[in-house]
A and B are shown apart, each in its own frame.
Chain A
């Protein structure tokens, strides 16, 4: 199988299929236990997202921006403080065993940490057999055995015999991650929520798994949420990209638009910092991949991670934004459409609109960092 970047030229305009799973204005506030009473972590704020069959949406943002929280809410593992999750347009519910099982059959999530997501007491065989027995309508011992092998081969854990009887602690992080992926695929869901699906994998395996997922997406119309730190990589794999900062989706658009003509300063920052390690000090090593290489964060002006208990007023990015204006610190920026299906929350996009008619930020000259 040759790694083949899927055509990112696909525009959302060509016959949008109806969304399978939809988040509408979802907000999640976690209670703070060892703080003053009533304080909460504002982990997710009014986030909306649509996952369509055969489409992949990337969720990118630095560590702590609320990506996992969003995915867990979509999986109904986390009760939203407000807002709703719709499955095929109907409010989704996982109250009671029956509803949970029905939901699980359609929506599966791969949790972020493969060291925590597999019970250390169970063998791989058990871990993969459960979804098959719960959702796979297996016919017997033989059938199970065959499907187990097929699953392991699918995620390139070969030969299967070597892995079936292994305990999680006998596997590497990447191998565990693939067991976790196989576990979700065993259900044959309509929606796959992948939290850092491939970040633990070697590059070669990563491409194979991405190709597998791309095939599932194209042939079986799997809808996918692809959480990643790697915005550049997301461009080649996903149709649309949602950029998150401090619990808010700050920019949304096709993968092409967001990476080629980013509208939000934070998106530009993410893009700029991806290939060039020197720039990363700007992000103060807040992304997982650069933790070791980033210089000391403390003496960096822009390095302050946002306090989610008392988030910055106005635009949450303004304390770190090189272009912050007075209004940025007082008022929440509106959602500005910069192109068809491409929008961002930023005051910079509003102001120049008075002078120019359209304001694609990529043309703002001083925006180079």
Chain B
């Protein structure tokens, strides 16, 4: 809160935030962000219907061991086969589903945690905020990846890929909590929140019905980004061989390709597809991140527009 008159009317852009426009704002009005989202959309599509097409329509299996060992791409096996004779395309497509599901679970867990911590801390302030802030900072300085590696190594594939997802989600919420807290802080002093309190609304209802809907754009951005970073993290763990090696994912594909020396054998069709899948997804995440940053940080956008007044500029990405 500042000394300036507290009565500055909301800017029109914030004014026009209704349920409908809020939903529309889930798709950011920025080209980079849109391209990134479109790429992620393709992945989701592949994960949704890909396995069915590959397995039922094309009759390929990701796990069946055939006699066709380490074959280069052909009509029967569009992306060739592994050393066990499994089809790479089938593995890639099924792996996309696994990776996305695992990533989605991790993202939902971490986003939910970040919203809860940020909203409660920012809304109540005081001691609650201090405690939650300390917790957030603790998780921020925790060396995330090493911790995940240790925990995942302890699990050793027990609990399947979703146990790993939980671990990633539980360790990756801190950045998101920060941005939610800042947003909530600025909303808390707004007249409509004060008004709801003066009407006798309960704190829970104010948080859920008055504040939370106004956080939707930020929440959706966080969800998107943590989806991708979680996928990357899971792939990394799988590649290191400390994920669930029984599942078919991009990470386990790379793990086995490396174990069986696909590189030495010149079997590029084995390790390039999952590598490209991961890289492109990472790039998409980068695009979304840059795009959202441009939308929320007026300094990156030439002459500052309306968003300059409605949102706090943030140094980091939205995550």
Contacts and interface: CB of A to CB of B under 8 A. Distances in A.
Interface of A: 30, 32-35, 41, 63-64, 68, 72, 75, 77, 97, 100-101, 103-105, 108-109, 111-113, 115-121, 130-131, 134-135, 167-169, 180, 183, 187, 309
A120 B203 contact: no
Contacts of A104: 198-200
Contacts of A100: 197, 200
Nearest to B194: A77
A116 B9 contact: yes
A135 B3 CA distance: 35
Interface of B: 1-3, 5-7, 9-10, 14-19, 22, 190-203, 210, 213-214
Nearest to B18: A167
Given A68-B7, A100-B197, A105-B200, 8 more contacts: A72-B194, A77-B197, A108-B199, A111-B191, A116-B192, A121-B19, A121-B22, A169-B16
Nearest to A100: B200
A116 B18 contact: no
A111 B194 contact: yes
A130 B201 contact: yes
Contact of A97 (B7, B15, B202): B202
Contacts of B198: 75, 77, 104, 108-109, 111
A289 to B, nearest CB: 14
A169 B18 CA distance: 9
A135 B201 CA distance: 10
A317 B18 CA distance: 45
A350 to B, nearest CB: 34
A100 B195 CA distance: 12
Contacts of A72: 194
B225 to A, nearest CB: 24
B7 A112 contact: yes
A115 B9 CA distance: 6
Nearest to B206: A119
A11 to B, nearest CB: 33
A167 B16 CA distance: 9
Given A75-B198, A113-B191, A116-B191, A97 B203 contact: yes
Contact of A111 (B195, B213, B214): B195
A130 B199 contact: yes
Contacts of B17: 120-121
A168 B210 CA distance: 14
Contacts of A120: 10, 14-18, 192
- 5 tightest A-B CB contacts, nearest first: A104-B200, A116-B191, A101-B200, A119-B192, A117-B191
A111 B6 CA distance: 12
A134 B9 contact: no
A130 B202 CA distance: 12
Contacts of B191: 111-113, 116-117
A164 to B, nearest CB: 15
A120 B197 CA distance: 16
A121 B192 CA distance: 11
A103 B198 CA distance: 9
9 contacts: A72-B194, A77-B197, A104-B199, A113-B7, A119-B192, A130-B199, A134-B200, A167-B18, A183-B199
B202 A119 contact: no
B201 A169 contact: no
B9 A121 contact: no
A86 B79 CA distance: 80
Contacts of B200: 97, 100-101, 103-105, 134-135
Nearest to B20: A167
B254 to A, nearest CB: 45
A91 to B, nearest CB: 19
Nearest to B202: A97
A100 B201 CA distance: 9
A36 B9 CA distance: 28
Contacts of B5: 63-64
Contacts of B1: 30, 33
A30 B198 CA distance: 20
Contacts of B18: 120-121, 167, 169
